[in-house]
Structure formats: structure tokens, C-alpha cells
Structure 1
Amino acid sequence: MAESFSIAQLSGAERPIKIGFVLIPDFPLMTFSTALDSLRQGNRLAKRNVFEWRLISIDGKEARSSSGLALQTTAQVGETGRFDVVIVCAGINYRRSYSSGLFAWLRKIFAEGCVLGAVSTGAFYLAKAGLLNGKRCAVHWESLASFRKEFPKCLATDDIFTVDGRFLTSSGGTATLDMMLYLISAIEERDLASQISDQFNHPRIRRHDDAQRMQPEQRFGIRNAKLGFVIRRMESSLSAPVEISELADSVKLSPRQLERLFRDNLNKTPSRFYLELRMLRAKELLLDTDLSVSEIAEACGYESPSHFSRFYKQHFGETPAETRKADTRSRMSLA
């Protein structure tokens, strides 16, 4: 089908729009529920079946969410009927479920004209299928660095959701509601999307380029604009740390003035605060991804795995390998 096909061409259909949700093991339940219930609410408010949906798994069996709740699916990848939209829902440990059969099916249905969506780490599947090269996509901020490293030809953003041709991608969480409201507006009408938003006590349908994360001023309880700017720069440059003197210069302060600002507001030096951001990011990657220690070291701005491991042990009192081993034991005990 021609690339000029757009989501808007789904509007005006006299039949229900058929939407498939591919549930990858460990999918985030809240994100999926937000997507599904927006359609259910749309049918209720429109007083007709605007949307129909099916739950799909790779093997046709039940799909278990990251919270442990399992959902019975009604279709298997490759053995389903035609869909207008297919949305891949994935969360942590997404690499464990990479499937050549799923990738081939995604390519097939896209070629047939299907709109493809992804939430949270679902974008990894579209990219792995070779569909997102040169396309904008939204990825959860925790996985953004990993995605950019694995798929440098994709235009990964920190927007809450993106729309690029027949691709819809959400960074996950509540941003998925905003993505679905965009989809509903394109298919039906904005008035219906606004009614759904009201029903969910969602006072504002956010733009795609709204920030994913709370601003530093809110998260750290600070009011100084220069301090907030510096923290944002730190958070966006964990893989390539910026010199403290350069950070100070960016807000027209001397390094000593910046240090005083950090101490007065956060009771830490800029260097210590920066280190803690990098260490917390490293621990998140160790616990939530299958990246090697070498890859995590690079993602957090360290020249070598040994250099990274030394700082990590100083900070957390255990090596990266010990953190992963303890997490594996904990998961096995809960299984």
C-alpha cells in the first residue's frame, strides 16, 4: 500500500474499526488497560460499536503482565484476520520475547495497509522488524538510550507519543491515553475524544511533544530556574557527561556559584548529584534490561566496564553482577 496512506483515512468507516493488541510477556497492565478502556468508553459514549478489539499473543496462549495478572488472548500472531490497527504492548524484559515470526507478521500487515502502534518498549519490536528506519518514535525515558544505541537509524524522541505516517508510538503509562485520544479523534471526531477524556478525569489532552517526566522543579522540590536547567542537562547527557564548568557557564554562573546553589537546595555538590543520577540509571538498566555490563557502562558515560564497576560498587556496596544475581533470585522466589 502507498506510503501516503494515513491514519485519517480510517475515518468515516461504516463498520467498526478493528484493533489488535499484541501482548508481549511482562507487558505493563496499566498502559494496556488505558489503551483498551479508551475504546470501550468510546463505544459507550457513541452508543454504537465504533471499535472492535482482539487480544493477541505470540503463541496464542495467555499473556502475563509484569504485575503477574494473566489475560486470556483470543488470537495468535500470524493466525489472525485483518486489522485496521495493531498495537504492540511491551514492558520490561522485552528482548526475551523477540520473535522472528512476530517481526515477519508485522512487516506483512504493514504492507497490507495496517496502522501499527506501540506502547512503552513496544517500539523495539517495530524497529527490530525493520519498520521504523527514518521514522519518529516515542520510547519511555528509561529505555531511550538503549533504543538509540540498538537502532541508530530510527528517530527516537522523548515526546510522550509520536505519529509518523502509519506509525503511532507511546512512551507508556498515562501518555498512552493521549495517544489513543489522538487515534480516536482521527478515526471518529474530536468531540468523542474530549468526552472520553472527561470520563477519565483527564482534564487536558496533551500534545505529542509534552514532556514525559515531571520537571526537576517538581521532582526535587526546587524553585531556582537555573538549577532546574542544569539538572535537565545532566539528565539528558548521562551517556556523555558534561563538565561541571560547562554546566555552570550555560547558566552564567561560576563553578563555585553552581556548587553553592546545589548545596543550598539539594545538600549535595553538582558532581555528587550527577554521579547519583548515573548510578541510578545504571541500576535501572541492570534490573530492567538484558544489556551487558559493558553496554550499561557506555550508556552511563564510563570509558570501561572496570571503571564503571568500581564506581558502582563504591556507591551501592555490591558489583553490577551481584545486583543482577540478587534480582534474579528475587524474581525466582516470586514465581
Structure 2
Amino acid sequence: MGDKARQAPRSFDSGLRHSNQAYLQGQLSDDAHPPICRRIAFVLLEHFSMMAFTGAVDAIVTANLVSHKPLYRFETYALEGATVRSDLGINISVDGALPALDANDLDILIICGGFRSKLEPGRPVLEKLREVARRRVILGSLWNGSYLLAHAGLLDGYSCTVHPDSRAGLEELRPQVRLLPNPFVIDRDRISSAGANSALGMMLAVIRHHHGEEMVRGIEEILSCDRTLDDLPDSPMPTLVDNPTFPDVLQNVLQLMKSNIEEPLSIDDLALHAKTSRRQIDRLFQRYMNTTPSRYYLETRLTRARRLLQQTNEPITTVAIACGFTSAPHFSRCYREFFGMSPSQVGRRRP
């Protein structure tokens, strides 16, 4: 038993992995094949949308958190000067001016506009954008940043989107650009977002292309503001893989698991309440969840335990009981096997 406790943590193979991805130790990276760290430059126009900018940055910063290793690094640039005023009236210090940008190892350049941003770039800006494009850098925009790319002729033959207030002007300026009414558009090496809320979605789509769906689901779990109440001690455990496309029987079993954390039901009892057979439950979990019902149930309870440990100061024994474990030693052993650390090593909320 002692040897088992020292084994490497098991990999999460069910739909709950994304909920715990940032907390799994030693499972998400391969030291022999370190991930590529992509460099992103944000060009901030005067009166740029702070919400659009932070939404995009939040996605890449959280990706680094989930991966435990840097996947992205970002820099900020102004068209000129050392600071840029946002739409909130807050001055932001930047890393440099766009003409001084070294694009040798640049992967993505994103122009962040805003409702009051001026969209008539001078010749040096246009020349710099064309220089960056020649290096096959992905070019992107937030809000109405597409306007500058279109001015430089870098969107001809591409689809893109822009804030509705800038649509008519862009259509008149460059009819060669295919404007779409979508929240965000990705067309080959051009990416664009029409507003503040869609900036996050655009960046998540880019991250999904680079690192897969599992990474994006882990980011979304951390950034889901409408789920914050789920972390409170007296909230029911959410089933993070709820999917209306699942068969009704599977949905019923998932709901039963979610509702019975402190006193877990046996698989036979789950089958009885769901009016199905144990064999059918096994088949459904293997097909849709890529795991067994007992394994998924255990992960559900451990996920709940991890949240309680992080969000409360309850004793480990109390958390163990609240999550259906018969003893603290048994709970600690299961927790270590899944997360690679003991419950006592989890950072706790300070009063």
C-alpha cells in the first residue's frame, strides 16, 4: 500500500479532467518534448477596448496556468509613444512603439481597437504591418482593428469581422474584404473579433487549434464566472459534462451522482433508480465518458473535495465525510493517487 501511494498520479480520462486540469501534478507536460512558447504582440490603439484586450490576454495567461509551462508570452505596443489611453480613461504603459517591433520570432500580431479609436493609420504603420505580414505572422484584430489591416491591403480575399459601427466604412474602403456578421472569424492566418465579449472566444479558438479541446475546457472552467457559486461549500456539485445529446438514462445517472456526493449510491442502486441495468450503465459510460461509472463517480467526489479544500478551512476529515469517504486515510490515498499531492498540501482559503 505504501508503494501504491508513491505512484505517479493517474491520468484523468473522463469528462471531468478539464475541471481539474490546472491542479493535476505531473500529468500535463512532457519534459522530453517541452511545448512551444508562442510570442504574441498586441498593438493598442488610442481608446482601445480594455475589456476586449483583457479578454484575449486572460485566455493566454490562463492557458499558461493550466499547462504549468509557458505556452504563450505577450507584449504590448503603441502606434507611437510609451503609453496608450484605454476606453476607460486608464493609461497603459506599453513595451514599445510599433515601428520598433522586432518581428523575427513573432507568431501573432493583434490590433486592439475601440469605439473611439481613430482608424486612419499613417504610412509608417502600414509599412510595418506589411513587413510583419511578409514574415507569415498571424494577423488579428479586436473590435475595429481590422480597419488597419484592411488599410494595409492585408485582408484582401480574406473573411473577417468588425464592430458594427465600423462595418459600413470598411465595406466602402476595401470591397475586396469579405465582411461577416459573426462574433469572431478565423480565416487561415487572419483572425478577427467584433467586440469585447467575443475576444475571449476568438483566443480560445486559437488555443484550441494549438493545444486541443481539453486545454480549452480547462481554461473555460477557470474563467467561467457564472459558475463561481458552485465552489461554495453548500452548493451541489456540478456535473461538468452535462450534455443534452447524452441519452436520457445517462443523464439520469449523472444527475443521481451529482445529487449523492456525501452518501454515494452503489452502481446497482444507480441502475435501480434510473430504471436500467448495471450492464447498460457500464456500456453508456464507456461509450460517452471513456471511463467506468465507478471511476467517474470517484472523480466527481474528488473534484468536489478539491474545491472544498481550496475554498474553505474545514478539516480534512470533514471534507472527506462530505464527499462520501469512510475515513480520512482512505480519502487522502485516493486524493494523492489522482492529484499527485496530499489533501494537506492544497492551498487553503484564508479567513
1:57 aligns with 2:68: no
Give the C-alpha shift of residue 100 in structure 1.
Answer: 1.6
Aligned residue for 2:98?
77
Aligned residue for 1:179?
202
SS in 1 for 2:142: strand
Give runs of aligned pairs for residues 198-217 of structure 1, distance below 5 A: 198-201=221-224
Give the C-alpha shift of residue 202 in structure 1.
Answer: 6.7
Give the C-alpha shift of residue 97 in structure 1.
Answer: 5.3
What is the number of residues matched between the two proteins? 193
Change in Cα spacing, 1:99 to 1:127, as seen in structure 2 (3 Å) is same
Distance in 1, matches of 2:109 and 2:119, equals 21
Distance in 1, matches of 2:70 and 2:132, equals 23
Aligned residue for 2:178?
155
Give the C-alpha shift of residue 133 in structure 1.
Answer: 1.2
- 1:34 pairs, out of 49, 55, 77, with 55
Give the C-alpha shift of residue 149 in structure 1.
Answer: 2.0
- 1:189 pairs, out of 204, 209, 212, with 212
Give the C-alpha shift of residue 92 in structure 1.
Answer: 2.5
CA RMSD of superposed structures (Å): 1.9
Aligned residue for 1:20?
41
User: Could you state the TM-score of these two structures normalised by the residue count of structure 1?
Assistant: 0.55
Aligned residue for 1:116?
139
Distance in 1, matches of 2:161 and 2:195, equals 9
Percent identical across equivalent pairs? 24
SS in 1 for 2:160: strand
Judge conservation of contact 1:60–1:77 (CA < 8 Å) in 2.
no
SS in 1 for 2:182: coil
Give the C-alpha shift of residue 36 in structure 1.
Answer: 0.8
Distance in 2, matches of 1:181 and 1:157, equals 19
Distance in 1, matches of 2:34 and 2:123, equals 33
SS in 2 for 1:105: helix
- 2:153 pairs, out of 126, 130, 133, with 130
Give the C-alpha shift of residue 96 in structure 1.
Answer: 5.5
Give the C-alpha shift of residue 192 in structure 1.
Answer: 1.1
Give the C-alpha shift of residue 99 in structure 1.
Answer: 2.2
Q: Larger C-alpha radius of gyration, 1 or 2?
A: 2
SS in 1 for 2:172: helix
Judge conservation of contact 1:144–1:158 (CA < 8 Å) in 2.
no
Give the C-alpha shift of residue 13 in structure 1.
Answer: 8.0
Distance in 2, matches of 1:13 and 1:113, equals 23
Distance in 2, matches of 1:202 and 1:139, equals 26
Distance in 2, matches of 1:27 and 1:94, equals 6
- 1:107 pairs, out of 113, 118, 130, with 130
Amino acid of the residue matched to residue 201 of structure 1?
A: S
Distance in 2, matches of 1:97 and 1:142, equals 15
Aligned residue for 2:334?
none
Amino acid of the residue matched to residue 165 of structure 2?
A: E
Structure 1 stretches lacking a partner, 5+ long: 1-11, 204-335
Residues 191-210 of structure 1 show CA distances to partners (whole Å, capped at 9, x for unaligned) of 1111111212178xxxxxxx
SS in 2 for 1:18: strand
Structure 2 stretches lacking a partner, 5+ long: 1-32, 227-351
Amino acid of the residue matched to residue 160 of structure 1?
A: P
Give the C-alpha shift of residue 76 in structure 1.
Answer: 1.5
Judge conservation of contact 2:46–2:118 (CA < 8 Å) in 1.
no
Change in Cα spacing, 1:129 to 1:161, as seen in structure 2 (3 Å) is same
SS in 1 for 2:109: strand
Amino acid of the residue matched to residue 23 of structure 1?
A: L
Change in Cα spacing, 1:13 to 1:77, as seen in structure 2 (3 Å) is farther
